Amino acid sequence: MPPELGQALRRARTCSALTQRRFRQDVRDTRAGLAVRDEIAFAQEQVVQRDRGIARDTVVGRECARRGETGAGLESPVEYRRAHLLVQRAQQEARAAFGQAQREFEFWSHSFSRLWRFDHAIACLTLATYQPADLAMIDLYFSPTPNGLKARLFLEEAQLDYRIVPVSLSRGEQFQPEFLAISPNNKIPAIVDHAPVGGGAPLEMFESGAIMLYLAEKIGRFIPADARAHAEVLQWLFWQMSGLGPMAGQAGYFRVYAPQPVEPAIERYTRELRRLYGVLDRRLDGREFVAGAEYTIADMACYPWIVPHAPHGQDLADFPHLRRWFEMIGRRSAVLRTYAGVEDVYTRKPSLTDAQRQVLFGQTTPAAACAI
C-alpha cells in the first residue's frame, strides 16, 4: 500500500473515531432531551387537569354568583372570583412551564439532528479529501464477457463509484499472481471493495454471483428484505449460475470458438440451452421480472447470457415472454451504459492463435502455452 494511502486511511479512521465519540455524546444529550419530553408530557397532563378544574369551578362559581348561594367550597361570589383568579394564574404558570419544556425538547432534538448530519458530512468529506482521486470505492477486474458484464451492470444500476481494471484473457493476464491473489480460480470478474461492510481492510471477492449478492445486501437494493421474496431471488440467481450460464457458455464455445465443429456437442448444448430458455420463458409468463414484481439481481444475472442468443442458436421469437422481458431490460439506462462500446464476444468467429486458444480454453499460463 502506498505510504500516502496509509496515512490517508489513518486520518480517516481518526476522524471516524472522533465522529463516534461525538455521536455517543449526542446520544447522551438526546436522552436528556427525552427526559425533558417526559416533563413535557407531565406538564401537559397538569394543564389538562387544571383546565378541567377551571371549567368545573367556573360553572359552579357562575351559578353561585347568579343565585348568591354557597356551593363547591365557595362561600360567596367574591370568593369565587378570587379562586378563579388563582386558578387562572396557576394555569398561566403551567402553560409557561409547558412551553419552556417544549422549547428545550425541540432544542435537544434539533441539536442532535444537526450535529449528527454535521459529523456524518465531516466523515464523508474527510474520506473524500484524504483518499487519492484515483481510488474508487470498488475496483472491478473486468473483461466484456457475460459474467464480467453482470458485475458491471450491477455497479451501473446501483450507481456505485467504481474503477475498471481491464483483464486481457487472451494474453493470459488472469494468470498473473496479482490477479490470482484476488481470484484464485483465475476467472473474471473480481472486485476489491475499499469500503467494505463493517469497515477494516479492503475486501477482495471473486465469482459474479457472490459479488452481486454481497453488493446488493451491502446497499440494501435489488434484493428484497422479505424472506420469501429473498428466497425467490436467490434460487433464480443460483439457477443462472448453475444452469443458464454454464450451458450457454458451452453452446457458445462449440458453436463459435471450437477449432473444428463437434456436432454431438453442438446439438447437445444447443438443445439444453433451448430447454433453459423455455424455463425462463414460462417463469416470465405473468411476471414483469424474473423474481416477481421487482427488478433484482436475478434479472441482472440472466440478461447478459441472453444477449448472445443468436450465436448460441436460439430464436427469441420462440419465447414471447422472454423476448418481452429482454427488450424491456435492454432499454434501461444502466444497461445502455454497460454495453456502450462493448462488442459481444460471441458475435463473430474469432481469429485466435494456437497460443491464445490454449490460454483461453486450456487453462494454462502464457509461458506454458508457448512451450506446447
Quick check: 121 pLDDT over 80?
A: no
* The pLDDT value given to residue 258: 87
Cis peptide before 189 (omega within 30 of 0): yes
124-155 confidence digits (pLDDT tens)? 444 444 444 344 689 999 999 999 999 999 99
The Cβ-side half-sphere exposure at 288, using a 13 Å CA radius, reads 5
Quick check: 195 pLDDT over 70?
A: yes
16-29 confidence digits (pLDDT tens)? 555 555 555 655 65
Cα–Cα distance, 189 to 14 (Å, whole number): 33
- Name the one residue in this structure whose C-alpha cell is 474527510: 126
310-358 confidence digits (pLDDT tens)? 999 999 999 999 999 999 999 999 999 999 988 877 766 556 666 665 6
Enumerate long-range contacts of 212-219, CB under 8 Å, 24 or more apart.
212/150, 212/151, 212/154, 212/237, 212/297, 212/300, 212/301, 213/237, 213/297, 215/138, 215/154, 215/155, 215/158, 215/160, 215/191, 216/154, 216/296, 216/297, 218/193, 219/158, 219/160
Cα–Cα distance, 41 to 58 (Å, whole number): 25
**162 contacts 137 by C-beta, under 8 angstroms:** yes
* The pLDDT value given to residue 133: 38
Q: Report the mean per-residue pLDDT for the chain.
A: 78
More confident residue, 56 or 234: 234
- DSSP code at position 134: T
Cα–Cα distance, 228 to 236 (Å, whole number): 13
Burial class (CB in 10 A: 0-12, 13-18, 19+), 73: exposed
Burial class (CB in 10 A: 0-12, 13-18, 19+), 334: middle
The Cβ-side half-sphere exposure at 89, using a 13 Å CA radius, reads 6
Quick check: 69 pLDDT over 50?
A: no
Cα–Cα distance, 347 to 227 (Å, whole number): 40
Cα–Cα distance, 126 to 94 (Å, whole number): 47
Closest Cα to residue 263, out of 217, 313, 300, 299? Answer: 313
